[in-house]
């Protein structure tokens, strides 16, 4: 099994993991609470960018949790196991927050559109132009008109296509067959790509929405997952053959 070159290095790595995840959890919890700044007017509609993000990011997070729990059974490396546990717990917590938003907005968990449709919505141009219920849309049908102009649509993803960074079923199946260093390498490789996809999705939300709760959550995801990507890249280098 792969271990750091000394116990001191291993302890430092675990401290870095703990610090990164603790900071991320504090930020996400605070942002998702939605009580940091003035109250947000209106709630997202059923086909809004915000609702699409909440649904698809749940799916994205669920695979990260599955992958993290899987690798904990495939290695006894303390640093990888600590990282995996923290990813699993933090992303489970965030998935619960995303689920809760949809409930609070009186929207169904299932999307009426293909996944990732929201990533093809127009980007913001100065003011909010995403699909919001600003009165008159109390049925959650997404008939709100927003308050400002948008740029021309810039499709960054094909509706119904594979989510950014999502591991394929074949990759997940292969990971399950590995042990020790081989499992660690594949886990880190897949999770780096997965996190980069999560950052892409969070940035896509920010490009298309200024709804405070979701925007703050997306910023926290970008902060946390960018830090974890850097850490995992360092861990992967130590395990390169």
Percentage of the chain exceeding pLDDT 70: 70
Give the pLDDT score at 76.
95
For residue 141, being part of any structural domain is answered with: no
The neighbour count for residue 174, using CB atoms within 10 Å, is 15
Q: Please provide residue 111's backbone torsions phi and psi, each rounded to the nearest 5 degrees.
A: -85, 145
Q: Residue 172 pLDDT > 80, yes or no?
A: yes
For residue 200, being part of any structural domain is answered with: yes
Q: Residue 139 pLDDT > 50, yes or no?
A: no
Between residues 108 and 146, the one the model is more confident about: 108
Given a contact cutoff of 8 angstroms between Cβ atoms, the answer to whether 156 and 119 are in contact is: yes
For residue 17, being part of any structural domain is answered with: yes
Given a contact cutoff of 8 angstroms between Cβ atoms, the answer to whether 186 and 140 are in contact is: no
Given a contact cutoff of 8 angstroms between Cβ atoms, the answer to whether 49 and 121 are in contact is: yes
Structure confidence at residue 60 as a pLDDT band (50, 70, 90): very high
For residue 146, being part of any structural domain is answered with: no
For residue 190, being part of any structural domain is answered with: yes
Expressed as residue numbers, the domain containing 197 is 10-36+46-121+157-238
For residue 143, being part of any structural domain is answered with: no
Q: Residue 129 pLDDT > 70, yes or no?
A: no
Considering the entire predicted model, what is its pTM? 0.77
For residue 168, being part of any structural domain is answered with: yes
Structure confidence at residue 161 as a pLDDT band (50, 70, 90): confident
CATH number, domain of 73, equals 1.20.1260.10
The structural domain count of the chain equals 1
For residue 138, being part of any structural domain is answered with: no
């Amino acid at each position: 099994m792969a271990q750091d070159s000394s116990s001191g290095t291993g302890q430092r790595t675990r401290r870095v993991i703990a610090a990164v995840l603790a900071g991320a959890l504090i930020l996400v919890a605070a942002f998702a609470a939605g009580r940091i700044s003035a109250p947000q007017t209106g709630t997202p509609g059923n086909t809004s960018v915000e609702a699409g993000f909440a649904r698809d990011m749940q799916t994205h997070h669920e695979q990260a949790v599955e992958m993290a729990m899987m690798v904990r059974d495939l290695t006894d490396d303390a640093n990888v196991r600590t990282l995996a546990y923290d990813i699993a717990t933090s992303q489970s917590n965030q998935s619960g927050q995303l689920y809760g938003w949809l409930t609070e907005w009186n929207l169904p968990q299932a999307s009426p559109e293909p996944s990732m449709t929201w990533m093809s919505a127009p980007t913001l141009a100065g003011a909010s132009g995403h699909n919001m219920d600003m009165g008159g849309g109390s049925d959650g049908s997404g008939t709100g008109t927003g308050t400002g102009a948008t740029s021309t649509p810039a499709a960054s993803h094909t509706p119904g296509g594979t989510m950014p960074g999502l591991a394929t079923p074949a990759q997940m199946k292969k990971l399950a067959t590995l042990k020790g260093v081989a499992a660690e390498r594949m886990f880190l490789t897949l999770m780096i790509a997965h996190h980069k996809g999560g950052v892409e999705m969070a940035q896509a939300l920010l490009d298309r929405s200024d709804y405070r709760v979701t925007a703050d959550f997306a910023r926290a995801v970008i902060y946390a997952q960018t830090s974890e990507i850097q850490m995992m890249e360092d861990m992967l280098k130590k395990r390169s053959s």
